[in-house]
Amino acid sequence: MQCRDFREIADSYLSDELTVETNHEVLKHLETCAVCRTEIGARREIRIRLKTAVKNDERFQIGEGFATELKAKLQEVSLEEMPVKNRTFGRQTAWLAIAASFLLVALLIGVGIRYQLRKNQNLSSNNNSNAIILAREAMAHFAVGDHKNCALQHNLEEMPISLSEAAKRYDKTYAELDKAVMKAFDNNENKVEFLGAHACIFEGKKFAHVVLRTKGKIVSFLVVNKEENETNSVDANNSTSISCQPKDGFQVSCFDTQRHQVFIVSDMSEQDNLTIARTLQSSIMNHLS
Amino acid sequence: MLSLARKQEPTDSWNDFETEVIPFMADVYRVAMWLVRDKTDAEDLVQETYKQALLSYHRFEKGTNCRAWLVTILYHTNSKRIRSRSKLHLVHSVEEEIAETIAFEPPTPQGLTDEDVLAALEKIPKQFQEVVLLCDVEDFSYKEISLALNVPIGTVMSRLHRGRRLLRSELAAFANRYGINKEDDKGRESNAVS
């Protein structure tokens, strides 16, 4: 990071509005740059001064007499005009109705996808590949959601856990998955940077998640156990195909192992995203088998 | 027929209002005073805001930010007052242009007083003042400011960015006038070029 870049984001750093990665870069820069350390100190001081200056300025202090008088007037008005509040059922009932509607829609979609999948399977055994695509399609939505919420916005509802903890709780193959991922890039001509690894949950789906950066883009490597995917009733043992599709503004590449689905999600080009999936496929299949 | 909902008595509602909303009167007055810059106008505005808050308190969701809710009502009330006084509202795009054209941003000066900082804030255009005040002094989030001012969140962010830059430029002018940080600035500027 250059001093110029730092100055652009210094205020966001003070307001704690930066992503974890950018925050880390700022801290790294501050460790080595005395000029920017002075600058951030000065900006912090201005904020404190501004706050105390406004709050202590007599012009901005409410008059005690006015506050007491207004409170008395409001109390008087409250007896005649203040609408009473329904304590429990009003808003809660509305939320329950909305939640029930969502549940019903989700149920119908689930039944629809199951029906569609079964129909496809019954048509012919050759339709196995269609079923693989459908299963991938169903989970790709969650993979993209996890990439956006976890890797890009750091906005997950539940705290992620370490891969070693996830190995104990969900799937033993998740242990050291990050090492297997980085090993695959040992001889890669493009630099692939490791940003973090953990297991996280998005809309009830448990993912092992390795976050990488290459060519200036954030890339999510996501593994999900097929048991998580209700639509996944196909055996993809012999399938080494990698599918690639745009979804919700991102590129998603996917391949299967015996028990897992693996997704690569990024906003790189289709070709670049696919290249990463190809680089990872064999070593990840070995690790997860 | 029996109603499932237990209705509150008016006195219960007042007690809740008194505990939850009244304590923020000084904060609301501070923002009102900043907006209208006149004691009588500010008191009228706070009175109107609190009356509106009292009448719509049944719609306030407990657990949400009450201060932000009050400031949103304050801004809406103020907008209504402005509209009723004049049908024409001019947006000072020239001020926006000024904020865009700060060619060089000097290092942030140190050693200034509270009064200097306040005077510098009062020198920048009003639409930038209010976002800096709401964010850096009153600690509201971008989303809360966006709701209060009824502008998109992106506008809040860009005004805040430009407002803080303008504030730093004003402060640098103060510092130069007093001769503060002269030696320090030389070193910092030469480093900043690198």
What would you report as the CA-atom Rg of chain A, rounded to the nearest whole angstrom? 27
Q: What pLDDT digit, counting tens, does each position of B91-101 carry?
A: 444 445 554 55
Residue A271 touches chain B, beta carbons under 8 Å: no
Question: What domains lie within chain B, and their CATH numbers?
Answer: 10-85 (1.10.1740.10), 93-193 (1.10.10.10)
Chain A interface, mutation test: which of B39, B104, B110, most A Cβ atoms within 10 Å? B110
List CB contacts (< 8 A) between B109 and chain A: 42
Residue A103 touches chain B, beta carbons under 8 Å: no
Give the residue on A whose Cα is nearest the Cα of B190. A35
Give the residue on A whose Cα is nearest the Cα of B36. A60
**DSSP structure class, residue B109:** P
- The verdict on pTM exceeding 0.90 is no
**Least CB–CB distance from A88: residue in B5, B14, B61:** B5
Does pLDDT of A85 surpass 70? Answer: no
Mean pLDDT for the stretch of residues A208-221: 91
List CB contacts (< 8 A) between B129 and chain A: none
Across the interface, do A67 and B26 touch by the CB < 8 Å criterion? yes
Q: What pLDDT digit, counting tens, does each position of A219-261 carry?
A: 999 999 887 665 554 555 556 788 888 888 888 898 888 888 9
Give the residue on B whose Cα is nearest the Cα of A52. B114
Structure tokens at A95: 């939320």
Q: What is the DSSP string of B1-65?
A: ---SSPBPPHHHHHHHHHHHTGGGHHHHHHHHHHHH--HHHHHHHHHHHHHHHHHTGGGPPTTS-
SS3 label, residue A169: helix
Chain A and chain B share a number of CB contacts under 8 A equal to 150
Q: What pLDDT digit, counting tens, does each position of B82-138 carry?
A: 777 655 444 444 445 554 554 455 666 666 777 888 888 888 998 899 999 999 888
Going across the sheet that includes A192-202, the strands are A192-202, A205-214, A217-225, A260-266, A250-256, A243-247
Q: Domain-by-domain residue ranges, chain A?
A: 3-79, 102-288
Q: How far is A19 from chain B (nearest CA, A)?
A: 16
Query: What is this model's ipTM?
Result: 0.74
